[in-house]
Structure 1
Amino acid sequence: MFDTRPDRSDEVVLVGRSNVGKSTLMREITGHSVPTGQKPGVTRKPNHFDWASDDFVVTDLPGFGFMSGVEDEVREAIKTDVVRYLEANADDILVGVLVLDGKAAVDIIDRHSGDDEIPHVVELFYLLEDLGITPVVAVNKMDKVDDRDERLDDIADRLGLLPPWKQWQDTIAPIAAKHGRIDPFEAAVRTHLEDAKRHDLKKFFA
């Protein structure tokens, strides 16, 4: 179980599969360097950033799914710990950011969709909703996607959100974190902070 959380009351968490760019997005949000790597699974423990004086922390939770050279049991344990972390801190998490790879997400979801199987990504989206955590889906690496709107419509559809995706702009945010293009994500988070009456935290997503 991850037990490294700083003693801060309000939190924004980043979750998702390995190698989708969570740590890169974290760096854009905080302005602090975050360990990133070419190999999936670089982040094994939560990275917490409570750099601000406000009673607030941003957390990058470890990625799940395929990790080169990592045993199945370890991968499953990480996924279980991510779920437990969300459950344990749900009351304090203002926004749960599900980061997807815009180029690969639809294929990955479809590959894992079976009669008795819900893809991890979809499962995580529903888990956030079930726990009362406001989800924002940051669809990353959109600079590599040609059929932008079609791809985002497909992602919305897979998450049970009726396309077109543009009616879900408080939930689905196309970004290219590596290039610093995260405005739709910041706008979505600001909207939810307003809803939570936390106008004081909007400055971190501006």
Structure 2
Amino acid sequence: MFDTRPDREAEVALVGRSNVGKSTLMREVTGHSFDTGGNPGVTRSPNHYDWAAEDFVISDLPGFGFMSGVDEEHREQIKTDIVQYLESHADDILVAILVVDGKSVIDIIDRHSGPDEIPYDVEMFHFLRDLGIPAVVAVNKMDKVDDRDERLDELCDRLGLLPPWKQWQETIAPITAKKGQISSLNEAVREHLHDQKRDDLFKFF
């Protein structure tokens, strides 16, 4: 299910929970619609988009975490597949975009924080960094958030980044994908591409 990756070296990967707007963001970045369906967990295998002449692919990995109507065993399998995919392609992934729902992410993280439990989003953020993959957290649906700066500062705090969030603009990108407001994400991604001497890929972001 996860072996559909085109034979391209450079990659930007989107990861995140179900229903945070990854597919909408993918559509916004690529200008191409993907079959997403209305139910969480519909994307069970990666969507790869390699429309460019360049040696480059954008991948939207399946959503992880709770999905209504999907049993726990299947959820764990998807998570394992994602982890293995990221591990095996870590050298080729120039940037990973971890998409979170700005409105609910703090509540979800706090609900799953405990002595034996690390919330998926926090775990994924640190996992990407441990793999040496630059991670940008795309905080989506910000049009529904009133206390914007406070919310983003809280997210930094949960991720182990010292607030204020504005000093982490290459890592924290507030966006509203549905309305096409993704310029802060594009800037963050470009910064990481530039660090890796891939300014040739700027035109996609």
Where structure 2 has 5 or more consecutive residues not aligned to the other structure, the ranges are none
Work out the CA distance in 1 between the residues paired with 2:172 and 2:203: 21
AA aligned to 2:165 is W
Work out the CA distance in 2 between the residues paired with 1:75 and 1:168: 31
TM-score, normalised via structure 1 length: 0.98
Q: Which residue of 2 aligns with 1:151?
A: 151
Q: Are 1:51 and 2:68 an aligned pair?
A: no
Please give the residue correspondences for 1:55-134 in structure 2 after superposition, counting only pairs within 5 Å: 55-134=55-134
Work out the CA distance in 2 between the residues paired with 1:146 and 1:124: 26
Q: Which residue of 2 aligns with 1:26?
A: 26
Q: Are 1:41 and 2:70 an aligned pair?
A: no
**Structure 1 residue 39 displacement after superposition:** 1.8
Work out the CA distance in 2 between the residues paired with 1:180 and 1:35: 19
Q: Are 1:169 and 2:182 an aligned pair?
A: no
Work out the CA distance in 2 between the residues paired with 1:62 and 1:182: 21
Other structure's SS at 1:23 match = helix
Other structure's SS at 1:76 match = helix
Please give the residue correspondences for 1:171-186 in structure 2 after superposition, counting only pairs within 5 Å: 171-186=171-186
1:76-110 per-residue CA deviation (whole Å, 9 max, x = no partner) reads 00000000000000000000110000000000000
Work out the CA distance in 1 between the residues paired with 2:35 and 2:190: 26
Other structure's SS at 2:91 match = helix
Measured on the aligned residues, the alpha-carbon RMSD in Å equals 0.7
1:27-83 per-residue CA deviation (whole Å, 9 max, x = no partner) reads 011000012333211110000000111000000000011111111100000000000
- Aligned identity (percent) is 74
Where structure 1 has 5 or more consecutive residues not aligned to the other structure, the ranges are none
Work out the CA distance in 1 between the residues paired with 2:149 and 2:4: 39
AA aligned to 2:171 is T
AA aligned to 1:112 is H
AA aligned to 2:155 is I
AA aligned to 2:145 is V
Work out the CA distance in 2 between the residues paired with 1:125 and 1:26: 19
AA aligned to 1:82 is I
AA aligned to 1:201 is L
